[in-house]
Structure formats: structure tokens, C-alpha cells
Amino acid sequence: MFIKLLLQQHKEIADDVINFFTSKATNLQMFADIAEKCKDYSLAKNNPNHKVLLGMGSLSVNDFLHYFEEKAQKKGIPIQVVYEVLDLLCKKGVLSEQSFIYTGNDKTFSVNEGYVRFLKHNNALDNLIHGFGYIANKYAKLVLKVVVQTPKGESIGTGFVARCENGLKPWLITNKHVAEHEAMLKVLDSDNNIVPHGQIYCSQNKDIAAIELYDDFGCNVLSFYPSGNLLDEIITLGYPRVPMTKDSFQLVHKGEINALVQDYYHNDFYIISAKTAPGNSGGPVLNLLGMVVGMVTQEFFEKPNEEAVFNLPYHAAIPVSDIIQFMISISS
């Protein structure tokens, strides 16, 4: 809680720390500028290894303070905030502290380049740092309502905006059982504005569908993560009906992946502890990077009988690998 409050109160400084210490992996122009401006200042001369470390991409707290205080004209940077953010970045695997190298009283850090490039490519670095609350707000407008008029009345599901790998146009990914009533379907945003859509593609043997979108959602769409793991923390976003409310509002639930199971037809599913209900179908399951590891589908439950009447349903999700495979099939 303390670090979240700190990041909120000192977001500009936190962003400066992140940008500075990850620059070798995320912004080579900035890193070259840092190397030039930090190579020969007074405190650096106290460390005989400074130029070698700088050349290797290892940056110190003194480098950061010098760069932003002297060159970017930012005075009075609270050092506690800098150290708290650096500690968080190390815990998240973004940075590694170079404690085995002599640096005097100065702390030096190197960036885990491959991992950070992956995060940057998927617009996930800030997600990892700021957490699920930030992620839910960031992607709220990419989680849409899918409304279907049926003989029994209006039915609401959920979909999320994503792209195929290297694809240009956005797609709304949802469940087949949500999207298969094509003639009676409309897509709405969270304010109930109609989102224009085109052709609908449904999988033959999986509960997956993709709806072609005409709106340009920019580059900030949801990305796919290769897989989920047992006990990974996750959140779901969707539009379940809530009794005594006037509309279907976007709800966020937090949980974890509890198991990978197969149904009678040998289809894989994640069992998740995040609560879902009718209306959540087709919603994304997001990990701590804000990336899609699965999609909510119908709950697993037994037909009521004397033995099953008190058994709660299990909340199920389709693994991201099945979604990726389907997206490849419709884009090839």
C-alpha cells in the first residue's frame, strides 16, 4: 500500500527513475545522452570503475541525480522515492543491483534488457509497476458490451479489443455462444454508444469468436501473453448483471489460476477463483503485466440434484493459446 501511494504522489519522479534506468533497453537515444552527460561529473571521479560501468549500461543513483538535477533542471529530488522505486523495479525483475562491483557508497543497477524489451513491446512496463488498479483503468475502454436480442429478451456478454500478431486492424474477441446470433448482435462501449463492426468469425470446435471492428483503437490494445501458470494472480473485466442496478456496469474481479483442466471433449480450460457470472462471458483474463492469459467462458456446474444443489459452480476460462491459434487461422 505504501509504495502504491508513493507512486501516485510522486508519479513524475517515479516515471523519471523508470525511464532513466531502463533507457538502455527502451530508449537508446536517451541512454547515449545519459552516457555523455554522466561520464565526467565530480562525484563520478570518486569511483575508478565509473566509466567502465557506464559503458556496460550500469547506471547509479548519483548518475540519476546528476542527470536530472544538473541537466534537466530538476532540483530537490526526494532520494527516498528514488530508492523505493528502484527497490520495486528490482523486485519486479526489471533491474538488477550490481552489488558485487565496487562503487563506493553509490548503488549501481543494470537493466534486464530482454525482459524489458518484451514489456516495452507489449506496452506492459507501466502495468507491472503500477498494478491491477492501474491496469483495470487503462484498459476499461477496450472491454466492450456485446448485446444480443433473443426471443427470451436481451442478453449481454463481453468482448475485448486485441490484434493478431503484426496485424493492423483491431478485433473484438469474445465467446462463440455470445457472438453466434449475428443478425441480432450489436457492440456497445461502456457508455452504451454503438461501436461499428463487420464480419463475425466463429470457431468450429471452441467457444471463441472474433468480430471485425472498424474503429481505430490506436496502439494501446490488449496483448496476448504466451500462457498462464498455476497460482498466477489475475483479474477479469466484464459486464455481468447486478441486481437492483439500472444497467450492466463494467466489473473487475481479482483472483488466481487454480488449475488447468480438460472437459469431456478434451478442450483445455483454466479454473480461476475470480468471480464470474452471466454477462462476463467473453471477457479477458489479465495477468500482472496487463496481458491476456485467457477468456472467461461458461461456468462449470452440475445440473441440480440432491447431491449437487449446494455445490457452487467453477469459473472457467479458455487459455490464451487457443485464442491465438484461432486468430492465426482467420488471418491467414
| 6-38 residue pLDDT tens | 666 677 888 899 999 999 999 999 999 998 888
Instruction: Give the residue with greater pLDDT, 118 vs 79.
Output: 118
CATH topology of domain 2-121: Arc Repressor Mutant, subunit A (1.10.10)
| φ and ψ of 85, to 5 deg | -70, -40
As a whole number, mean pLDDT of residues 38-52 equals 73
Residue spans in the chain of domains classed CATH 2.40.10.120: 130-332
CA–CA dist 257, 274 (Å, integer): 9
Mean pLDDT rounded to a whole number for the chain: 85
pLDDT level of residue 332 (50, 70, 90 thresholds): low
CA–CA dist 309, 332 (Å, integer): 46
CA–CA dist 196, 140 (Å, integer): 18
Is pLDDT above 90 for 145? yes
Instruction: Give the residue with greater pLDDT, 92 vs 3.
Output: 92
Supply the pLDDT for residue 25.
95
Say if CB 92 and CB 119 are below 8 A apart: no
As a whole number, mean pLDDT of residues 212-216 equals 84
Q: Does domain 130-332 have CATH number 3.40.50.720?
A: no
Is pLDDT above 80 for 157? yes
pLDDT level of residue 160 (50, 70, 90 thresholds): very high
Supply the pLDDT for residue 76.
66
Supply the pLDDT for residue 6.
63
Which stretch of 4-8, 132-136, 174-178, 266-270 has the lowest confidence by average pLDDT? 4-8
Supply the pLDDT for residue 330.
85
As a whole number, mean pLDDT of residues 276-287 equals 93
CA–CA dist 216, 141 (Å, integer): 13
Supply the pLDDT for residue 202.
94
* pLDDT per residue as tens digits for the range 49-67: 777 788 788 898 989 988 8
As a whole number, mean pLDDT of residues 311-319 equals 84
CA–CA dist 173, 144 (Å, integer): 10
- Look at the chain and count its residues: 332
Residue spans in the chain of domains classed CATH 1.10.10.10: 2-121
**pTM, 2 dp:** 0.87
pLDDT level of residue 248 (50, 70, 90 thresholds): confident
In percent, how much of the chain has pLDDT > 90? 50
Return the C-alpha torsion angle 48, 50, 52, 57, nearest 10: 160
CA angle (331 as vertex; 325, 332 as ends), nearest 5: 90
Query: Measuring CA to CA, which residue among 204, 135, 173, 179 is closest to residue 317?
Result: 173
Is pLDDT above 90 for 40? no
